Structure 1
Amino acid sequence: MESLKEMSAPSMPARESSADPLGSAPGFQPYIPDKATIPELTLPALTLGTLLGIVFGASSLYLFLKVGMTVSASIPIAVLSTTIFRALSKAFGSRRATILENNIVQTAGSAGESIAFGVGATMPALMILGYDMEWSRVMLVSVLGGLLGILMMIPLRRPFIVKQHGTLVYPEGTACAKILEAGEQGGASARMVFTGFGLAFVFKVLMDALKLWNNAPSKLIEGINGYKNAVISGEADPALLGVGYIIGTRTACVMVAGGILSALVLTPAISFFGQGLKEAIPPGTIPIDQMGPGDVFKSYVRYIGAGAVATAGIISLIRALPLIFSSVVGGLRDLGSRGEGADGSGRTQRDLPFAVVLLGCLALVAAIASSHLIPTNLAGRIAGACMILLFGFLFVTVSSRLTGEIGSSSNPISGMTIATLLMTCLIFVILGWVGPEYRVTALSIAAIVCIASSNGGTTSQDLKTGYLIGATPRSQQIAIVVGAVTSALIIGGTLLWLNSVYSIETSKAEYLPKVAALESELTGQTETHDGQEYRVARVAIPRDGVLPGRYLVDNSLKFVVLDDPGIGGRVNERDDGTKVDKFNPPQPALFAVIIDGIMTGKLPWALVLLGAGIAIVMYLAGVSALAFAVGVYLPLATTVPIFIGGMIRALVERRHRMTAEESDSSPAVLMASGLIAGGSLAGILLATLEAPIGFIQSAKKGLDMTDKVGPLLKSLPAGWQDIIPSVVAFGLVSLTLLAVGMGGGRGESSKAAIDLPESRPDV
């Protein structure tokens, strides 16, 4: 989709050579010559890369579930690798790691972020559609998608990376090569990364574990006749502050503008026109007159936001069609003329054998066709596997070439996923495959293609980095396979864990259908709740008064309990009054809307089309329709800290009058990266406190200092006692980031010429 922020493409001066070494681009000589033999694919490098990949992959998943976007991990990992190996060398008197070992670390570590994006964007849609998010399905999709993207990128390395060197820039890969070279020469300190990490981690512990201040203060606007349910809110999250700084002022402003439309225009407007109505208006389940701000948002505004996101994605995809077409044609042409040297004997030209690619792809197709991943008959499984292979090759080719031309920040991964989903659903409808199992099949196909195309783009950037510094492609390909598999397992487990601890079982009548369950909706399973045994019903096809989801019903088929998921759920309070912050990224809801709209036709199209109109208006006005649409979908509380981060960057750039490259190389950018990692990992660890286990809940109560802090807040003005402490605490973190930016300028990290990639744009 269209970029959240225009990417400046850093260039790297070519090293002149009189020869054309082993089929490389004419006149190019890598940093490490082809004939040089130095340590590269070593156990320490692979281990550190895998560990950092797990850390950044898990934090990327948490960040994606919060705001629907991720931040590229390659450059922070490269900086950390250089610093960690340097520190270990000094501590133990061992040799320093080579530049090629540091490259292996960032290669293995970078896979986690791209897999986190694909898994987080697709798998939660299962629960929105009314199905279980099974462990085996999540793991299979994660691993198969990651491996498919890598395998299909291997034969494209030579035509894209080598033969078109100088034409396809690969901005992030080129920037990462600069980092590694600077580290070889003594630059690229990771001090700011660690500082941001520690600051964000401690902040989250004090806020979410000790409860010293409110994590999302809000203020209801009152006293205006007819202006109801308008709330100004902001989340005190240092990770979101870091996101705002990295994506920049323009995008941050557009996103918060969408949030303002959602919270201060759409929600009050729906509340105003719904006054006096005594009947519920679908998809709402209670009258609008009885709804609070959150109810209006979840029942109506979220569908408007999903329609806006879908339309913005389609607009972006249409705009990219010329590039996509040329990418496919050029990729097939170049692939057909790989020529001699593709498997040449020179170290810098050694790929994994093409036979490995073919056998690997066939093995993946066989695994898909023989597994429960596609829950249909044998013909359907084989057809689904072939569609995955076809769409996977198409969009990995497109992703790789587009990444080279416009960078990962403008790579339309969500647009490609939408296209895959649309084509798959339309094919199924034509064939008459419209049963519930085919909805899962369509989503599984799109999920694997999404992860494959995302990881294919990341692999391209890694191989470009390796090409510039003189790495061995085969070693990099092995490293990213190891990194992809290990990261996929951890990311899948993290997704299931976060969903589990934030799930809510509620017996409140407002969330339960008034009609009886159907026999066809029973799963045959039973479950005990509050000492009573109930039958499990799963509603996959929405019907009047019954929303998709997992329910417990009694013997008379009366709905008794709703098991609301932690991701994409609609209940934010347990029956005992405990508040729970659910994850609601826009992409899963978007993909569920597409599947429901095409395969069942049961969708609140009026709300979706309202969102489509908003996206079209923004596009015609010259505003980033995608960033605005995401702002409409996300709560205002989420976009406000992103906006503050963007404004801090504006002040820093104004103070130092830096170019785009100088701004991206400032210490504040590294600190922002640390804020994201520290805040996200703290959020994952603190989620443990939500587990319904006796000793964990006792520990949670023991850490809670609300009773001790409460008396101290009574001196504050009424109505502001939950707001002022949060504003002060978050303000201190914001001022720290501002001080680093103002004082750093073209500081130490600038020696590394760090061009930190922005967030993925298709959020």
Structure 2
Amino acid sequence: MSVHTPPPAETPSEGLGSAYPVHKPYIHANTVMPELTWSAVLLGAILGIVFGASSLYLVLRVGMTVSASIPVAVLSITVFRAFSKILGTRPATILENNIVQTAGSAGESIAFGVGVTMPALMILGYDMELVRVMLVAALGGLLGILMMIPLRRAFIVKQHGSLTYPEGTACAKVLIVGEQGGSSAKTVFVGFGLAFVYQFLMQSLRLWEEYPAKVITKFKGAVVSLESSPVLMGVGYIIGFRISCVMVAGGMLAALVLTPAIAFFGETAATPIFPGLKLISKMNPKDIRDSYILYIGAGAVATGGIISLFQALPLIVSSIGSGVRDIRQSNRGGATEQSDRTDRDLPLWMVGLGSIALVAAIAATDLMPTDLSGRLMGAAMVVVFGFLFVTVSSRLTGEIGSSSNPISGMTVATLLLTCLIFVLMGWKAPSYRLAALSIAGIVCIAASNGGTTSQDLKTGFLVGATPRSQQISILVGALTSAVVIGFTLLLLNDASTVVTGRAEYLPTAQVDVATLTETATHQGKSYHVWRVVAPIKGAQPGKYLVDDQGQAHFLIDPAINGRVDTRDDGSKVVKYDAPKATLMALIIDGIMTGKLPWNLVLIGVFIAIVMHLAGVPALAFAVGVYLPLSTSVPIFIGGLVRAAVDWIKKTPAEESDSSPAVLLSSGYIAGGAIAGILIATLAIIPQASKLFDLSTRLPAHWNSSPWPSIVAFSFMTLVLFLVGIGALLRSVESPAVAEGIKGREEDL
């Protein structure tokens, strides 16, 4: 591929006025080259589905995702280059590669919004319906893009130089390097392959223990464990040492302070202590966590989210004011003149009609299972909160980046305001709980996708893309990702749902079956369905199958936020803690029903407040309290490797964030997550799981020893460290590439 020569500086567009900074795009506005091609959109949609599925897996496990734009851009460059060599087709242009990363980036942002909100359906006691999940994902994703389009000139063009859009700028650098002959895709592919094989050997063949643990015998209730997952180690490397330390500290508080304290003080209790169903003296650490720690953690996460919202409030308020002023000035400056290719948006009439159609769909469908007034109120709140937080998100990502964008805080604010409005209107029926969650889900996804769209348009602005082409491609990417993410969420839940008849999981209380209207069939018998949405005396929250006398026979325990990780036949399943979804469910229940074990929740509330007063990031610490310690430990190890690499190489932060080890970590996350999804799919067929399981053929001492797991995990850690310091997979770029990066720094 020939090296593109950057054009001379161009003056601001005539219709935009002198207020716009001078900008030299990498591809001149007068240059015509292939851009919105079917191959670019198709590859972008496929990569968006892959990274969307892996991001959904990640947000269900630990409540966070990582940006997909740079890995998608790197993979696009390599895939098109390989096709060109093998098939003899023309090389892809930089603008086609930009279309791929634009379409592909939608998957990650939609996955975050879906994973943060929709699993709360299960926690609130409802079934997760595919149509509801897909509608929320699609409507929120499309609405976020359409609402951001009118903001492009105000934020991307007019404030070029003041709003930096860090991820968008970094992605533009990657595309320019790829255009000039460089690529680091090998690092992503190696990470993907290693993590995929590792996960398959561990979870499917069961060659080593996934959760090696050490019980501290003289410290009752204390267990130290590790989830030997390269996915979580990759997350830790990307988020860095500071946040990973805070998360593991929260996990240590829960596992090594709160759990032993409950075990010690509850040892002599003669009766079960609410909301537990059995004596604390008979509980193991997992029982204590399920019965007590989860409520403490949920209270801490809720408070941490609210604290994050208040911390961001001044910036949000100023962003709203600045955004409105920028839009007015942009429109007065001649925003309708679009003579240059690089200044052509989708027509505003099309954006307006599309937005109206989406809002009408929200009001007309069963997303709002209420009367007409409730539907109209819900649609109005989506418009108001949606445009408000899309504007805020689009601007904040320009100032502080997508990684620091408080989408969770915006979602919490939406949910709090929605629930309070419903309560003030006297709307407390169960249908309004569903409506509140749907509103929050759409707004969350819209805000998340609005921020992602802003980063993509910034990348396009820097490389000289056509905004309209990018907007079309991300609309396509959002729609395809929304459909597949809905299926993926239900697949993960169905694959690890456990139906158990073990007495330890069944309530001792009985229910009046006359109050139950739902029935279900299991093993050829018909049962009444009893949904316990909050702990009551003698029953934990859950979905139970009861007979005509009101006696429970089975618990249907979902994969998401479930507590039973072993089927009655002894086979293991993967459970997903979904910490952010638990926060959403807690807010809805707390405001609209008040049926919560408030003493435990308030302990969590004040833990988060104490951490905030001590200067510790409260939300990260709270997530650590809620998640098992085994989940936080590999994240901490990844952060520790990042600290060691940065200390050895003395790498500046901006370079460290796009280093080979970060790309390897992205590969770890994608490869391990995709393998986890495929293995979860196999778990639906017990015979397939048993066919691959080799643990029964291994020596007993091998299966019971933690050392095989520790050695395997240490190998993945060593590879990450060696790539980080440049001892492995060192990419040798051509002088033209190095000069290209250096020479374009001012433009970016």
- Normalized against structure 1, the TM-score is what? 0.93
Q: Distance in 1 between matches of 2:729 and 2:719?
A: 17
Partner AA of 2:498 in structure 1: I
1:157 aligns with 2:142: no
Alignment check: 8 A CA contact 1:20 1:26 kept: no
Deviation per residue, 1:357-388 (Å, 9 max, x gap): 21111111111111111111111111111111
Aligned to 1:194: 189
Alignment check: 8 A CA contact 2:21 2:161 kept: no
Secondary structure in 2 aligned to 1:533? strand
1:707 to 685, 696, 701: 696
2:315 to 304, 323, 332: 323
Secondary structure in 1 aligned to 2:526? strand
Secondary structure in 1 aligned to 2:699? helix
Partner AA of 2:715 in structure 1: L
How far the C-alpha of 1:322 sits from its partner, in A, is: 1.1
How far the C-alpha of 1:498 sits from its partner, in A, is: 0.4
Q: Distance in 1 between matches of 2:538 and 2:9?
A: 70
% identity of equivalent residues? 62
Q: Distance in 1 between matches of 2:560 and 2:285?
A: 20
Alignment check: 8 A CA contact 1:259 1:632 kept: yes
Partner AA of 2:54 in structure 1: S
Aligned to 2:746: none
Secondary structure in 2 aligned to 1:120? helix
Q: Distance in 1 between matches of 2:409 and 2:375?
A: 25
Q: Sort the Cα spacing of 1:547 and 1:593 in 2 relative to 1 into closer, same or farther, 3 A.
A: same
Q: Distance in 2 between matches of 1:149 and 1:139?
A: 15
Deviation per residue, 1:85-138 (Å, 9 max, x gap): 111111122211111100000000000000000001111101111111111111
Q: Sort the Cα spacing of 1:232 and 1:14 in 2 relative to 1 into closer, same or farther, 3 A.
A: farther
1:649 aligns with 2:642: yes
> Which sits farther off after the overlay, 381-390 or 19-28?
19-28
Alignment check: 8 A CA contact 1:342 1:351 kept: no
1:411 aligns with 2:410: no
1:296 to 248, 271, 288: 288
Deviation per residue, 1:593-651 (Å, 9 max, x gap): 11111111111121122112111222222222221111111111111111111111122
Q: Sort the Cα spacing of 1:373 and 1:470 in 2 relative to 1 into closer, same or farther, 3 A.
A: same
Q: Distance in 2 between matches of 1:538 and 1:712?
A: 42
Structure 1 segment 729-744 matched on structure 2, within 5 A: 729-744=712-727
Alignment check: 8 A CA contact 1:234 1:636 kept: yes
1:387 to 377, 381, 389: 381
Alignment check: 8 A CA contact 2:149 2:345 kept: yes
Deviation per residue, 1:226-251 (Å, 9 max, x gap): x3121000011111111111111111
1:27 aligns with 2:22: yes
Structure 1 segment 165-314 matched on structure 2, within 5 A: 165-222=160-217, 224=218, 227-314=219-306
Secondary structure in 2 aligned to 1:143? helix
Secondary structure in 2 aligned to 1:535? strand
Q: Distance in 2 between matches of 1:67 and 1:688?
A: 20
Partner AA of 1:681 in structure 2: I
Q: Distance in 1 between matches of 2:14 and 2:729?
A: 37
Aligned to 2:327: 335
1:469 to 463, 483, 487: 463
Aligned to 1:500: 494
Aligned to 1:604: 597
Secondary structure in 2 aligned to 1:379? helix
Q: Distance in 2 between matches of 1:185 and 1:728?
A: 40
2:366 to 372, 386, 400: 372
Secondary structure in 2 aligned to 1:277? coil
How far the C-alpha of 1:698 sits from its partner, in A, is: 2.3
1:91 aligns with 2:100: no
Alignment check: 8 A CA contact 2:148 2:390 kept: yes
Secondary structure in 2 aligned to 1:381? helix
Partner AA of 1:623 in structure 2: V
How far the C-alpha of 1:192 sits from its partner, in A, is: 0.6
Q: Structure 2: where are the runs of 5+ without partners? A: 1-5, 742-748
Structure 1 segment 461-610 matched on structure 2, within 5 A: 461-519=455-513, 521-527=515-521, 529-540=522-533, 543-610=536-603
How far the C-alpha of 1:462 sits from its partner, in A, is: 0.4
Q: Distance in 2 between matches of 1:520 and 1:543?
A: 19
Secondary structure in 1 aligned to 2:510? coil
> Which sits farther off after the overlay, 16-25 or 329-338?
16-25
Partner AA of 1:513 in structure 2: P
Aligned to 2:135: 140
Q: Distance in 1 between matches of 2:598 and 2:650?
A: 48
Q: Distance in 1 between matches of 2:533 and 2:625?
A: 27
Aligned to 2:50: 55
Aligned to 1:759: none
Deviation per residue, 1:645-684 (Å, 9 max, x gap): 1111122122212211232232211111111110000000
Partner AA of 1:649 in structure 2: R
Q: Distance in 2 between matches of 1:285 and 1:644?
A: 36
> Which sits farther off after the overlay, 177-186 or 515-524?
515-524
Q: Distance in 1 between matches of 2:720 and 2:210?
A: 19
1:637 aligns with 2:620: no
Deviation per residue, 1:178-200 (Å, 9 max, x gap): 11111111112200100011000
Q: Distance in 2 between matches of 1:384 and 1:14?
A: 50
> Which sits farther off after the overlay, 374-383 or 659-668?
659-668
Alignment check: 8 A CA contact 2:187 2:729 kept: no
- How many residues end up aligned between the 2 structures? 729
Q: Structure 1: where are the runs of 5+ without partners? A: 1-12, 715-720, 755-763
1:346 aligns with 2:343: no
Aligned to 1:728: 711
Partner AA of 1:193 in structure 2: V
Alignment check: 8 A CA contact 1:667 1:745 kept: no
Deviation per residue, 1:496-555 (Å, 9 max, x gap): 00000111111223322223224575233331x233221223334654434443221111
Q: Distance in 2 between matches of 1:19 and 1:398?
A: 26
Q: Distance in 2 between matches of 1:683 and 1:746?
A: 26
Q: Distance in 2 between matches of 1:586 and 1:108?
A: 28
Q: Sort the Cα spacing of 1:520 and 1:481 in 2 relative to 1 into closer, same or farther, 3 A.
A: farther
2:396 to 399, 402, 426: 402
Partner AA of 1:273 in structure 2: F
1:613 aligns with 2:606: yes
2:441 to 447, 457, 463: 447
Alignment check: 8 A CA contact 1:521 1:538 kept: no
How far the C-alpha of 1:21 sits from its partner, in A, is: 5.6
Secondary structure in 2 aligned to 1:505? strand
- Normalized against structure 2, the TM-score is what? 0.94
Alignment check: 8 A CA contact 2:494 2:558 kept: yes
Q: Distance in 1 between matches of 2:386 and 2:248?
A: 35
Q: Sort the Cα spacing of 1:665 and 1:72 in 2 relative to 1 into closer, same or farther, 3 A.
A: closer
Q: Sort the Cα spacing of 1:128 and 1:688 in 2 relative to 1 into closer, same or farther, 3 A.
A: same
How far the C-alpha of 1:477 sits from its partner, in A, is: 0.5
Alignment check: 8 A CA contact 2:172 2:462 kept: yes
Partner AA of 1:618 in structure 2: M
Partner AA of 2:345 in structure 1: D
Aligned to 1:125: 120
Partner AA of 2:546 in structure 1: V
Secondary structure in 2 aligned to 1:748? coil
1:682 to 675, 679, 682: 675
